[in-house]
């Protein structure tokens, strides 16, 4: 985290605490009093009161990510929007007399009441879909990855890191009796020229595995199958990540 980002979060925290915890009974907390308590200027206090806090931004980014990701996943796994081989169909933009399924219906089914054009604009922005000349929509990639802002990316990064740490913690505490799957394959003397091929190979096979697991999980998820029975509400999944490290300088130092 950069110092600027930390400073903005700290300012929000000072203003929030001053506004909610140090009021005078019977009086509305003023901007001047918050400025006095926090050490910030009245202008800065007002700016922070008018701006969303960092956690609000994270929540908004998370919701945008979840909605767009659900639409892309539904496009791939729902038989109304994909063929028998699991390939996503080309969709008409809106409902019409033709038999072709529509993007508008896809959004209604997997993203609730959000306007379908808002979802389309987001997916077009990050290059996940393409609008063809006959006003139809084609899926270009089977994964939604935000590209526009650091907030969106950090929201996903924070969730992924939290999941990895939680798995490690579980295995440290309960690994002997109830281990969570935690494996990796790694070699430390691979030529740089082989990395490109391994990236493509690992990406293709990892994507195929995730799509198979996604189909299984979707059959047991109440959001996509409301008729699913059972107790509790659990969040589960599996994550795959790629890594590489240049060992040349390290080998030189060791020798």
Boundaries of domain holding 69? 56-139
Asked whether residue 111 is assigned to any structural domain, the reply reads yes
Average pLDDT in the 117-138 region? 88
Q: Do 128 and 159 have their domain in common?
A: no
Asked whether residue 145 is assigned to any structural domain, the reply reads no
Q: Do 92 and 154 have their domain in common?
A: no
pLDDT of residue 59: 47
Domains identified in the chain, total number: 3
Could you please report the per-residue DSSP string of 127-167?
TSEEE-TTSEEEE--S-----S-HHHHHHHHHHHHHHHHHH
Q: Do 164 and 203 have their domain in common?
A: yes
pLDDT greater at residue 201 or residue 153: 201
Instruction: Give the model's confidence band at 87: pLDDT under 50 very low, under 70 low, under 90 confident, else very high.
Output: confident
Q: Do 75 and 122 have their domain in common?
A: yes
Q: Do 126 and 96 have their domain in common?
A: yes
pTM over the 0.75 mark: no
Q: Do 102 and 23 have their domain in common?
A: no
Asked whether residue 144 is assigned to any structural domain, the reply reads no
Q: Do 213 and 241 have their domain in common?
A: yes
User: In angstroms, what CA-CA distances link 213 with 69, 87, 218?
Assistant: 15, 16, 9
Domain C-terminal end among 97, 117, 139: 139
User: In angstroms, what CA-CA distances link 111 with 22, 72, 154?
Assistant: 41, 10, 22
Q: Do 119 and 162 have their domain in common?
A: no
Nearest Cα residue to 31 out of 86, 226, 40: 40
Asked whether residue 158 is assigned to any structural domain, the reply reads yes
Q: What percent of the chain has pLDDT over 90?
A: 23
Read off the pLDDT of residues 146-188 as tens digits, 9 standing for 90 and up.
655 545 555 556 677 878 888 999 999 998 999 999 999 999 9
Token digits for 89?
A: 């169909």
Average pLDDT in the 232-246 region? 91
- What CATH number should be reported for the domain holding residue 133? 1.10.10
- In sequence order, the β-bridge partners of residue 139 are 129
pLDDT of residue 219: 82
pLDDT greater at residue 1 or residue 30: 30
**Helices and strands counted in the chain (H then E):** 9, 3
Q: Do 42 and 26 have their domain in common?
A: yes
């Amino acid at each position: 985290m950069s110092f600027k980002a930390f400073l903005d979060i700290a300012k929000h925290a000072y203003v929030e605490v001053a506004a909610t915890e140090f009021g005078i009974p019977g009086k509305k907390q003023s901007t001047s009093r918050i400025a006095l308590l926090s050490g910030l200027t009245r202008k800065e206090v007002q700016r922070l009161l008018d701006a969303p806090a960092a956690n609000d931004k994270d929540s908004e980014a998370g919701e945008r990510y979840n909605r767009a990701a659900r639409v892309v996943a539904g496009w791939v796994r729902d038989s109304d929007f994909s063929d028998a081989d699991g390939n996503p169909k080309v969709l008409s933009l809106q409902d019409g007399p033709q038999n072709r399924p529509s993007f508008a219906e896809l959004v209604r089914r997997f993203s609730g009441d959000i306007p379908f054009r808002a979802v389309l604009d987001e997916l077009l922005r990050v290059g996940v879909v393409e609008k063809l000349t006959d006003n139809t929509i084609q899926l270009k990639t089977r994964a939604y990855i935000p590209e526009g802002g650091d907030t969106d990316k950090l929201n996903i990064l924070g969730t992924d890191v939290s999941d990895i740490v939680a798995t490690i913690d579980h295995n440290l505490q309960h690994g002997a009796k109830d281990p969570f799957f935690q494996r990796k394959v790694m070699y430390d003397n691979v030529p740089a020229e082989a990395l490109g091929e391994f990236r493509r190979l690992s990406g293709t096979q990892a994507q195929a595995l995730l799509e198979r697991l996604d189909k299984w999980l979707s059959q047991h998820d109440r959001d996509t199958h409301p008729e699913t029975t059972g107790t509790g509400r659990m969040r589960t999944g599996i994550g795959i990540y790629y890594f590489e490290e240049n060992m040349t300088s390290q080998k030189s130092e060791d020798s």
